[in-house]
Amino acid sequence: MPELPEVEIVQQSLSKNIKGKKINRVLVKNRNLRFKLKPYFENKLKGQFISNIQRFSKYIIIMLKNKSFCVIHLGMTGTIHIIKKKKKSLLTNTSFYHSPILPKKHNHIEFFFDDIKLIYNDPRRFGFFLFIKDKENLKNVFKNYGPEPFDKKFNLDYLVNFLKGKKKDIKGFLLDQKFVSGIGNIYASEILYSSKINPLTPAKKLKKSQLRNIIKSSKEILYKAIKEGGSSIRDFKNTTGDTGGFQKKFKVYGRDKKNCKRLKCLGIIDKIIQSNRSTFYCKICQK
């Protein structure tokens, strides 16, 4: 599943390609996504101009000129493809997951503009689209989400108060969107490695110095991942011809049974399962 950096790359790609453009038509081929698409979805978007495109957590938010919104979540296998009418290209995917070219199957929604077409492809259909009529309703969609790692609210006081007395392990909290928005399995392992914290540590046992390290590492690692174009779990390029490069800089994720990369550490990276998710860490330097 794409995490905050990968969704940020999609958002940036969409901003370059469709910001300011008019949606001429929307074609829905399959309404049965994670949440069934409302019958009025196409008509609400038809004829609207896109004023901006933003991202919150793992969501893409298309802002329309009439102050309404289209919220997109890619789920586990959702991808957005850009088809240019004047310039044909084999590379259509705006992200770095799954096929770099437009698959023939599972194309569920199409957005038509004057010069390009956007196609939403999703084999497992865990992604979804929501039409939101105004800003107040948009706030309600995200009211139960915690701050993003880049948010000023994600600070020491917030972590101390939220985690006080909590028995759940810290890795579980980093994946809990009610605690912090946008961090997924890959970056949770990387953040805890950078912070020298064992992922199995109960949250209530963490010292303030460790919480400061989590805040610092979260910002630094996600920023670097965005700068590197996200993580390409499969080796291919996006529509700009670039690949996500952060996977080349993983310190622990996917490195089980390999030597720890930390200077002077003689540990071996271990892989365990937490809440049905793979966790990678070094038993020696993560305590």
Would you list the DSSP string of 126-176?
Answer: --EEEEE-SHHHHHHHTTT----TTSTTSSHHHHHHHHTT--SBHHHHHT-
Is 151 contained in some domain? no
Q: Of 113, 140, 167, which one is at a domain's C-terminal end?
A: 140
129 and 220 co-located in one domain: no
Instruction: Fill in the DSSP letter of residue 206.
Output: -
- Nearest Cα to 133, choosing from 60, 66, 68, 72? 68
CATH number at residue 241: 1.10.8.50
Q: Bigger pLDDT: 225 or 58?
A: 58
119 and 180 co-located in one domain: no
pLDDT score, position 176: 97
CATH number at residue 103: 3.20.190.10
133 and 42 co-located in one domain: yes
Is 204 contained in some domain? yes
177 and 274 co-located in one domain: yes
25: annotated active-site residue: no
Residue 239 Cα distances to 16, 17, 99, 116, 249, angstroms:
11, 11, 12, 13, 23
Is 169 contained in some domain? yes
37 and 123 co-located in one domain: yes
What is the number of domains present in the chain? 2
C-alpha 255/C-alpha 15 separation (Å) is: 35
pLDDT greater than 70 at residue 239:
no
C-alpha 279/C-alpha 159 separation (Å) is: 22
88-127 pLDDT tens trace: 777 888 876 677 888 899 999 999 999 999 999 999 999 9
C-alpha 95/C-alpha 80 separation (Å) is: 7
99 and 185 co-located in one domain: no
Residue 245 Cα distances to 41, 152, 238, angstroms:
36, 27, 12
- For 230, the domain range is 156-282
pLDDT score, position 278: 96
Q: 267 falls in which pLDDT band (50, 70, 90)?
A: very high
135-168 pLDDT tens trace: 999 999 999 999 999 999 999 999 999 999 999 9
Mean pLDDT for 57-74 is: 97
Instruction: Scan for tokens 């039409």, then name that residue.
Output: 131
Report CA 5 to chain centroid distance, whole Å.
Answer: 6
120 and 178 co-located in one domain: no
C-alpha 285/C-alpha 227 separation (Å) is: 27
pLDDT greater than 70 at residue 237:
no
Residues with Cβ within 8 Å of 149's Cβ and at least 6 positions away in sequence, in order, are: 4, 180, 182, 183, 215, 218, 219, 222
58: annotated active-site residue: yes
- Of 31, 34, 224, 277, which is the active-site residue? 277
247 by DSSP, 3-state: which? helix
9 and 108 co-located in one domain: yes
Residue 107 CB neighbours (<10 A):
16
- Of 44, 55, 58, 117, which is the active-site residue? 58
pLDDT greater than 80 at residue 21:
yes
C-alpha 156/C-alpha 65 separation (Å) is: 38
The percent of residues in the chain predicted with pLDDT above 70, rounded, is 92
C-alpha 188/C-alpha 199 separation (Å) is: 9
125 and 65 co-located in one domain: yes
Is 150 contained in some domain? no
Is 171 contained in some domain? yes
Q: 234 falls in which pLDDT band (50, 70, 90)?
A: very low
